[in-house]
Amino acid sequence: MKKILLLCLALAAGPVLAAWEKGPQWLENAVIYQVYPSSFKDSDGNGIGDIPGVLSKLDYIESLGVDVVWFNPLFESGWIDGGYDVKDYYRVDPRFGTNTDLVRLVQECHKRGIKVFLDLVPGHTSMDHPWFRQSMEADANRQYSDYFIWSDRLPDAKAEEELRQMLASDNYMQNTTGKWMVSDAPRGKYYMKNFYACQPSLNFGYYEPNPENPWEQGMDEPGPKAVKQELKDIISFWFGKGVDGFRVDMAASLVKNDKEKKGITAFWREIRAWMDSEYPDHVLMAEWGNPIHCLVAGFNVDMYLNGSSKSNTVRRMYFDNKHQADGGSYFSLDGAKPSTMDLYGNPWPADRIDSVTTAADILKRYYDYYGKVVEETSGLGYFATITGNHDHLRFNTGARNNPAQLKVAMAWVLTQQLPILYYGDEIGIRSLAELPNVEGSNHNGKERAGGRTPMQWDSSVNAGFSTCDPEKCYLPVCLEWTPATSYPLYLKWKEEGCRKPAAKGHITVADEENDPASLLNWTRALITLRHDTKAFWGSSEWTPLFDEENPYPMVYTRSDGEECYLVALNPTGARRTVAIPSLKGAKSSPKPVMLSGKASCHITPKGTVVAMEPVSAMIVRIR
């Protein structure tokens, strides 16, 4: 028998480093559904989604079986960064409706047993926010003067060079280079930004302020303390309207000069203690991407970020170093062989092909990382696994483009500790590159528009998303299962008669609703199994079974101490078999409780053999 590494990591073990519960009990069994409001459903025919549109589709959301709906920013915005440049934290943006519409949405969700999370952007505002407009004035002693960070000089040569590079770009207001932006405001020559140049950083203070830099205020000085109070006021306002929690954008970015994250940890622990006192059943979920820091800091939930950073261990499960899926990722047909094409379908020069990482490397790094996280954060909170999100491409990208492949990936996400399902991934909406840069969706060469296209309800105009003329639609849609990688190639494919589609039918709710074998109904069945089976809940044991020589299929067990289930996944185009040690208490001939494709599990006194046909997923109850 080949060498097997058994990594048994009980989520219930490990040090407890916080003085609070890890979250409301319902999080143990939760599935979160993320909705990008501009792209979900348009009720008034203007080409942009809105709250009445979401209300009209609540029965569909309920039918998925999800427990929470997380909405990307609904607050009034300047719309230079897709709603993340907030002008008023207390008002719903008119494009979506009114505050009353949002309160009704919360109430209707609650009637269906669904919680509501809003997206909170605490690190920065829009340039047009009244706080920032007042801070620009010459009088530095107004109410909001110290809500932002102003200076008459840049701190060093590095900052000067970064500003020069940013201003030289074609669209510098939607550029993330550097930390400072030039200004003609009476208050100062420069202000600190937090993402785009149009997003001035709110001043939560510096953990170790440099006395030689007068703009660096300590965390306990009046300005930063006032901003922290504003944050509490915003949270209180929306919790008072029935909202159940917040997903916090760029949660680690608030405190400056804080390399070890001591300042930001203290900051969020204070917020968490206040919330536990005033709103004990509510949830804070972070965009942090480092749960060992994040959950110690008091958040209930952190999440995987499947972005293109080379240091992102989890990313290689989804994408290669170039953020595409034609190779170089674990969930690929070719078994993680190096990708030879870029995101747009163009061949890579030989010297740019990543030929180092193997499937075994990817899987072991993932197991090691995930195992370390669950061991060190047990009792503190949950680490969520996502199907995709608004900042990255979807699972249906490049050569990973048919329902069978997506079922395998969906089985992985929905059998992890806490799943987040991105709208449209349950039907397999396709990501295309080279879409328009709508409201800052694409920046610095990064394609985000492909993950924000409209929800596809049926095969009518604009996929049933809107009755507007197609050219007025928020973003174009791709109804077909197509091998195209970019929007120009998709249009060419349609002109040529839609030859060689990757799968039959349209990618729509209507087409998949009544098909028992559809991705949509596979997703619903996985969510039902999860809810009905304690072995898949957040604190249940997760045990990966890793064969160094045979990284496919991916095999792990989930157990609550009584029942135990084996999950086996083969995303590749080849038959894969692995032998693992005998599983304690296992039935001799377990039958799959869920199966996509063809696979089998045979348990003998000498060991267990898992055999998987190409592109298959299997869940087996072994005891």
The pLDDT tens digits of the residues spanning 354-393 come to 766 899 999 999 999 998 898 889 889 999 999 999 998 8
pLDDT of residue 527 exceeding 50, the answer is yes
Residues in CB range of 575: below 8 A, 6 or more apart = 611, 612, 613, 614
Q: What is the mean pLDDT of residues 553-573?
A: 96
Name the nearest CA neighbour of 220 among 237, 206, 202: 206
Both tokens of 491, joined, read 């249009």
> What single-letter DSSP state applies at residue 576?
E
Distance of CA 123 to the CA centre of its chain: 18
The pLDDT tens digits of the residues spanning 118-149 come to 999 999 999 999 999 999 999 999 999 999 99
Q: What is the mean pLDDT of residues 87-111?
A: 98
How many Å is the maximal CA-CA distance in the chain? 81
DSSP string, 274-342: HHHHH-TT-EEEE--S-HHHHHHTT-SEEE----S-TT-TTHHHH--TTS-SSSSSSSSTTSSPPP-B-
Both tokens of 216, joined, read 């660096």
Torsion of CA 359, 362, 366, 372, to 10 degrees: 120
Cis bond upstream, residue 122 (ω within 30): no
Let me know: does 132 contact 126? Beta carbons within 8 Å: yes
pLDDT of residue 576 exceeding 70, the answer is yes
**Helix H or strand E encompassing 267:** helix 262-278
Among 7-11, 339-343, 514-518, 568-572, the range scoring the smallest mean pLDDT is: 7-11
Both tokens of 582, joined, read 């005998």
pLDDT of residue 548 exceeding 90, the answer is no
- pLDDT number for residue 307: 62
Torsion of CA 571, 575, 578, 584, to 10 degrees: 70
pLDDT of residue 89 exceeding 50, the answer is yes
Backbone CA torsion sign across 262, 236, 217, 80 = positive
Measured distance CA(533)–CA(527) in Å, rounded: 10
Long-range pairs of 408-411 with CB within 8 A, sequence gap ≥ 24: 408/331, 408/569, 408/570, 408/571, 408/596, 408/615, 408/616, 408/617, 409/331, 409/571, 410/519, 410/522, 410/523, 410/526, 411/526, 411/567, 411/569, 411/594, 411/596, 411/617, 411/619
Measured distance CA(428)–CA(387) in Å, rounded: 10
Measured distance CA(308)–CA(163) in Å, rounded: 23
Let me know: does 428 contact 519? Beta carbons within 8 Å: yes
Task: Quote the pTM value.
Answer: 0.95
The rounded mean pLDDT for the chain is: 92
E strand segments, 387-432: 418-422
- pLDDT number for residue 450: 94
Q: What is the mean pLDDT of residues 333-349?
A: 84
For residues 41 and 514, the model is more confident at 41
Q: What is the mean pLDDT of residues 81-90?
A: 97
Taking CA atoms, 142 is separated from 134, 139, 204, 242, 617, in Å, by 7, 6, 17, 33, 61
Among 25-39, 57-71, 123-137, 368-382, the range scoring the smallest mean pLDDT is: 368-382
